[in-house]
Amino acid sequence: MRDSYTEFANTGLGRKLTKSLGLPQPAKLRRYRPGAPLIEGPVVVVGDSEASDRIAEVMLGWDLDVRRHLESREEAAAVVAAFDTTSSPEQLSSEVLAVGRLLKQLKSSARVITVFRDPQETEDPAVRAARKGVEGLTRSLAHEMRAGGTANGIVLQNELDAAAPGFAGALRFLLSGRSAFVSGQFITVGSVNGALPEDWSKPLQGQVAVVTGAARGIGAAIAETLHRDGAEVIAVDIPPAGEQLAAVANEISGTALQLDITAEDAGERILTHAEQHYGRLDIVVHNAGITRDKLLANMDASRWDSVIAVNIESQLRMNRAFLASELFNRAEATVGPRIVSLASTSGIAGNRGQTNYAASKSGVIGMVSATSDQLQARHGSINAVAPGFIETEMTAKIPLVTREVARRLNSLNQGGLPEDVAETIAFLASQAAGGTSGLTLRVCGQNLVGA
Amino acid sequence: MSTPTTTRDAVIIGGNRIPFVRAHGAYAKASNQDMLTSALNGLIARFGLQGEQLGTVAGGAVMKHSKNFNLVRESVLGTPLDPKTPAYDVQMACATGMEAIGSLANKIKLGQIDSAVGGGVDSISDAPIVVTDELRGILMEANRAKTAGQRLKALAKIRPGHLVPQAPGVAEPRTGLSMGDHMAVTAHAWGITRQEQDELALASHKNLAAAYDAGFFDDLITPFQGVAKDNNLRPDSSMEKLAKLKPSFGRDLGEEATMTAANSTPLTDGAAAVLLGSEEWADAHDLPKLANFVDYEEGAVDFVDGAEGLLMAPAYAAARMLRRNNLTFEDFEFIEIHEAFASTVLAQIKAWEDEDFCRNKLGLDGAMGPIDRSKLNVNGSSLAAGHPFAATGGRIVGTLAKMLHGKPGKLGFISVCAAGGQGITAIIEGR
């Protein structure tokens, strides 16, 4: 879907005009390209905790230009601020103001990443207030970022330090172009599970993934992204979508499995296919979903029931089959099976005309948090991704004015691309994200709705 | 030189077809090459064959443009298969697909190739239009002319009557009778009733509809151009509706004409493909092994003088094939007889169940039958699905192999009749 306004706003005339008229100035976002540098320019570490040293070490290991200070004429590509030892709100000041001074010296599509401990893990009012404070300042800073820049946080749990593989995985994701449309969000790292890849350009090498709803849109982008990252992909969609499904499968040298996921034996049929063709199954991406919008006053049973059946009941049933199977439980040391599910910002904030859809997508968020223990016990993970306004065939059907408003209603002043959702899913499906489970991560450019 | 005494199994790995549609409808703008390429693409996607160099791909079309002299090879080049995969065209009227698959299975058995795709395609909607012989003669003369004057002289011979295009027909060149009218003669000779034919047609629709409902075709069909199901299928058909139709063939039989548009197969567009391989090749590629292609037999009858039915060749082929394999019809779990017309199936069955026919024509000691009707075309056949001539063999082999999967040693029988008084029968074995 073409966003003509963003294209115009990035021309010479467009920049002048939008600025003088006070119109939104959507930037061209820095997106991940295989082979391109992780991030170009100095990365400044703020804070004096032990964790801040570890963070610097991790990034030095990636050959980044890591600094403690920036010269006055230099521009930073990213700022990572460690608040992990902050124990009262008044202690926030020095680090926050240091970050503030750097904001005028940021390159485009810059990153600010705050690192702090989980507020819920302390009963001390001052400590929890300080930690919650980091959340609040990070979200507000995300609104203030310019030129495609984002601000996000990494939340450490269970006394973990920055040496956990899941921390490095989250840090790298947030620095990279993979997180282009993620802003104002928090990635929780709660365990030492996971492993860092030998080759960061092929983080899913040797893994087998199934993607439902893979024939078009976000599902096709997920299949392509997982394949690009090294996975072998089983592309699933309903039989009537078979022609496009075959095209996707052939494009990525995967296999096509025509299947209605609401069938009782859908999970078993996926397992049989995976066993036959690959002998393993490491990653499940529950992407398939439908909308049948209607105000609740006018809702009929078929609209309600079909959305619930496809968007959440099928996932619950398939997960039971996967978790009961041997194929999906080949735990290798600290690495187990991963499930990533598609939620929606509608499931977080609600949306007029979408009681059925929001129920199903809130349901996904609940399912993910409640299934997390089972996956963690297998050294695996289950997470959800909640896309905001994404430029797809579906959103292209929204009337022009409504669409134009919807796509600007976020901190990045533009709609995301299917690949933005796919990149986040690929991250959560990777072993590097093994320390994160039970999370619903929004890919919405910090949408103002439901923030 | 001695002939090889041992061969290896030719394994049917799976099939794929596009939905069959009634002619001049949904695929009216698609060419044979478009349809065959799509059927191959679906097969490649199902089994992850991208970049694979197969032993060979064989198939064909009955209604074919001369520009499609290399139809299968050109189709292969339009797929993600390794372009080093050889391909060739086969043509044996409606038995084209069976002949392609049978001969490929033989190559695998002999160890000449390890993998193959066989199938076929046909489009009535994209049939070649031929000019009259007179006009063709004039155009060829003009083409041979050396001067403009000679060329003009040749072209001046064209008369309005020469310009009427000759649409391809399904009439037998040696008798001028349409296939349906031929069949009407045979049906009448065997005393096949309208009732029996309508019942068979109805069963075909009901069986195909039930198979769709059960998801049976989820891994046998890939949609094409927005069509997801065979569009000739009439799940809500009934004996009452079928009884209302007037006869379409054998009208010179008057009151005794029995063949209608519903108990005859409509003209159809579509394509089908079947993946075959040796056991080792299938294992090395982590592919399923549904069934073995055991044997096949071609047959032909002298129908021109009217002594034999045009579509009765499979009766003879079956007798030879079963004798060679030391089998009777009782040994088969499923029986697939291509429904060119309902009466074709019924005439073949009556012949096999007929003591006189089996003794005098087939040279056997007695009747080959009876045929258990509950084993016949249990997931529907051509009357419901349609019959794009060269694609039917691939449809039947793919379907039957799936039905026999998980039934090791159980046998399936196939009969496909063809124009020119020919036909093919085959045996496949579940695994």
Residue-wise pLDDT tens digits, A59-112? 999 999 999 999 889 999 999 999 999 999 999 999 999 999 999 999 999 999
pLDDT tens for A237-265 read 999 999 999 999 999 999 999 999 999 99
Length of chain A counted residue by residue: 451
* Cα(B165)–Cα(B129) distance, integer angstroms: 6
Cβ-count burial of B149 within 10 angstroms (0-12 exposed, 13-18 middle, 19+ buried)?
exposed
Question: What average pLDDT does chain A have?
Answer: 92
In this predicted structure, the answer to whether residue A166 has a pLDDT above a threshold of 60 is yes
Catalytic residue positions of B?
94, 387, 417
Contact predicate A278/B285, CB 8 Å: no
Instruction: Give the range of the structural domain holding residue B387, as residue numbers without chain letter.
Output: 179-216+294-430
| Token digits of residue B140 | 């060829």
User: Under an 8 A CB cutoff, do B222 and A253 touch?
Assistant: no
Report CA Rg, chain B: 22
Interface test with B, best of A210, A243, A273, A278 (most B CBs within 10 A): A243
pLDDT tens for A370-391 read 999 999 999 999 999 999 888 8
Contact predicate A58/A113, CB 8 Å: no
pLDDT tens for A176-217 read 999 999 999 999 999 988 899 999 999 999 999 999 999 999
Structural domains in chain A, sorted by start: 33-189 (3.40.50.720), 208-443 (3.40.50.720)
Contact predicate A67/A45, CB 8 Å: yes
Residue type, A356: N
| Token digits of residue B55 | 């032993």
* Cα(A236)–Cα(A233) distance, integer angstroms: 9
pLDDT value of position B287: 98
pLDDT tens for A320-337 read 999 999 999 875 656 789
Q: What is the mean pLDDT of residues B195-199?
A: 95
pLDDT tens for B247-305 read 989 888 888 889 999 999 999 999 999 999 999 999 999 999 999 999 999 999 999 88
Cβ-based neighbour number of residue A85 at 10 Å: 15
Angle, helices B96-109 vs B392-404, to 10°: value is 50
Interface test with A, best of B50, B52, B81 (most A CBs within 10 A): B50
Contact predicate B326/B170, CB 8 Å: no
Residue B16 lies in a domain: no
* Cα(B126)–Cα(B167) distance, integer angstroms: 11
Residue A250, chain B, CB below 8 Å: the answer is yes
Question: Of the given ranges (A55-59, B180-184, B395-399, B407-411), which has the lowest mean pLDDT?
Answer: B180-184
* Cα(A226)–Cα(A217) distance, integer angstroms: 15
Question: Of the given ranges (A77-81, B111-115, B180-184), which has the lowest mean pLDDT?
Answer: B180-184
User: Under an 8 A CB cutoff, do A242 and B225 touch?
Assistant: no
pLDDT value of position B148: 86
Q: What is the mean pLDDT of residues A435-440?
A: 95
Find, in chain A, the residue whose alpha carbon is nearest to that of B44. Answer: A250
Q: What is the mean pLDDT of residues B165-183?
A: 78
pLDDT tens for A110-159 read 999 999 999 999 999 999 999 999 999 999 999 999 999 999 999 999 88
* Cα(B20)–Cα(B38) distance, integer angstroms: 13
In this predicted structure, the answer to whether residue A8 has a pLDDT above a threshold of 80 is no
In this predicted structure, the answer to whether residue A164 has a pLDDT above a threshold of 50 is yes
Find, in chain A, the residue whose alpha carbon is nearest to that of B52. Answer: A253
Question: Of the given ranges (A51-60, A436-445, B125-134), which has the lowest mean pLDDT?
Answer: B125-134
| Token digits of residue A376 | 């963690």
* Cα(A202)–Cα(A34) distance, integer angstroms: 9
pLDDT tens for B358-388 read 999 999 999 998 999 999 999 999 999 999 9
Question: What average pLDDT does chain B have?
Answer: 93
Q: Which residue has the tokens 């533009």?
A: A414
Question: Of the given ranges (A277-286, A396-405, B56-65), which has the lowest mean pLDDT?
Answer: A396-405
pLDDT grade for B169, boundaries at 50, 70 and 90: low
User: What would you measure as the largest C-alpha separation in chain A, in angstroms?
Assistant: 64
User: Under an 8 A CB cutoff, do A276 and B223 touch?
Assistant: no
In this predicted structure, the answer to whether residue B130 has a pLDDT above a threshold of 50 is yes
In this predicted structure, the answer to whether residue A41 has a pLDDT above a threshold of 90 is yes
Residue B128 lies in a domain: no
Q: Which of B136 and B130 is assigned the larger pLDDT? A: B136
Q: What is the mean pLDDT of residues B18-31?
A: 94
Report CA Rg, chain A: 22
What is the interface pTM, i.e. ipTM, of the complex? 0.87
In sequence order, the 6+-apart residues with CB closer than 8 A to the CB of B340 are B94, B179, B183, B264, B265, B311, B382, B387, B417
Chain B: give the shortest CA distance to residue A200, in Å.
26
Going by C-alpha positions, the residue among A288, A385, A376 that lies closest to residue A338 is A376
The CA–CA distances, whole Å, from A274 to A236, B56, B211, B278, B366 equal 11, 27, 24, 22, 51
In this predicted structure, the answer to whether residue B237 has a pLDDT above a threshold of 80 is yes
User: Under an 8 A CB cutoff, do A242 and B221 touch?
Assistant: yes
B contact set with A (CB within 8 A): 38, 41-42, 44-48, 50-51, 79-80, 215, 217-219, 221-226, 228, 286-288
In this predicted structure, the answer to whether residue B1 has a pLDDT above a threshold of 70 is no
In this predicted structure, the answer to whether residue B34 has a pLDDT above a threshold of 80 is yes
Find, in chain A, the residue whose alpha carbon is nearest to that of B286. Answer: A277
* Cα(B145)–Cα(B142) distance, integer angstroms: 5
CATH code for the domain of B204: 3.40.47.10
Number of domains present in the structure of chain B: 1
* Cα(A94)–Cα(B90) distance, integer angstroms: 81
Residue type, A134: V
User: B78 phi and psi, to 5 degrees?
Assistant: -90, 5
Contact predicate B415/B291, CB 8 Å: no
User: Under an 8 A CB cutoff, do A242 and B51 touch?
Assistant: no
pLDDT value of position A252: 97
* Cα(A218)–Cα(A56) distance, integer angstroms: 35
Residue type, A103: L
pTM, two decimal places:
0.90
In sequence order, the 6+-apart residues with CB closer than 8 A to the CB of A369 are A438, A440
